[in-house]
Amino acid sequence: MQKIKITKMQGLGNDFVILDFEEYKKTGISMSELAVKLCDRHFGAGADGMIIPFVKGMETEQSSNASPYETLFAEGLQTDIGWYFYNSDGSTAQMCGNGMRCFAKYVYDRGLVNKKQFSVQTLAGVIKPELLDNGLVKVDMGAPILEDEKIPFKGSRKLKVADREFDIFPVSMGNPHCVIFTDEDTLKLAETYGPLIEKHEYFPEKTNTEFVKVLSRTEVEMRVFERGCGITLACGTGACATVVASVLNNLTENKVKVNLLGGSVIIEWRGLRENLSEHVFMTGCADYSFFADYIL
């Protein structure tokens, strides 16, 4: 048996197991394997994803199956800190907004960074979180990506799956999203069609799928089927993608409250079709669930 120290955190119910690299090294298995073990809700700690900080001067993960992170960190960091992020199925994800808020709080409290606003290297590029005095975390999520080849997306804006055809809005926040506006039951649609859209041929790297009901010019309801996770209580990048799509379709203003199953976040995007390079800002909670000695 091997004992490692883990921390469980959640942002709007989107939950994560976080551990230091030194604890990971004790396991003797790949990060992908560890993520599957730790995130299992019956035989593990249970989580939507696993996060491991990468600090300057630290060695990279060494495994027989090379991950994108080995390339990312091969020449060290140009930012304050980096992260390894794995979904519950062992796959890597370019970004996770709720995970970033939890990560920001964790590394600041652990003393891995010594300032409340800092830069993080991810597979989606450099992300900049800021710990606010009210306990919330604000994250500069960068500019949305709308070019089909960069999302990546290969198809039309009408997607047919099973017995339905949907009008879709593809967008990337470092990871691919398929936003669908509807007046129907958003959770039922996500549960029924999310798994099918995730693996649709239009999305060569699979996709997160958001079903969105516009409640007013400043508020929406969103339910999500996350790539590699399934139905989750919240998705930060999905909330950002939703607001980008709603602004560009003139359905909302530039500052929107996004209501998810686990709570709400505030998303701000000042972009227009003539100025798509404006960054998206997300503000929400990040909370500790527990600290534990976990036995593998």
With the C-alpha atoms ordered 191, 193, 196, 199, is the resulting torsion angle positive or negative?
negative
Could you identify the residue written with the tokens 């029924």? 192
Catalytic residue among 39, 178, 235, 240: 235
Catalytic residue among 39, 96, 178, 285: 96
Q: Is 102 a catalytic residue?
A: no
| Residues in the chain, total | 296
* Cα–Cα distance for residue pair 243/201, rounded to 1 Å: 25
* Cα–Cα distance for residue pair 41/277, rounded to 1 Å: 39
Sort strands 81-87 and 49-54 into parallel, antiparallel or unpaired: antiparallel
Q: Is 96 a catalytic residue?
A: yes
Cα three-residue angle 81-86-92, rounded to 5 degrees = 95
**DSSP E strands, the chain:** 3-11, 14-18, 49-54, 81-87, 120-122, 125-131, 137-140, 158-161, 164-167, 169-172, 176-181, 208-216, 219-226, 230-231, 255-260, 263-269, 280-284, 287-295
* Cα–Cα distance for residue pair 251/218, rounded to 1 Å: 9
* Cα–Cα distance for residue pair 191/49, rounded to 1 Å: 20
Cα three-residue angle 47-70-154, rounded to 5 degrees = 75
**Whether the Cβ atoms of residue 69 and residue 84 lie closer than 8 Å to each other:** yes
- Residues marked as catalytic: 96, 235
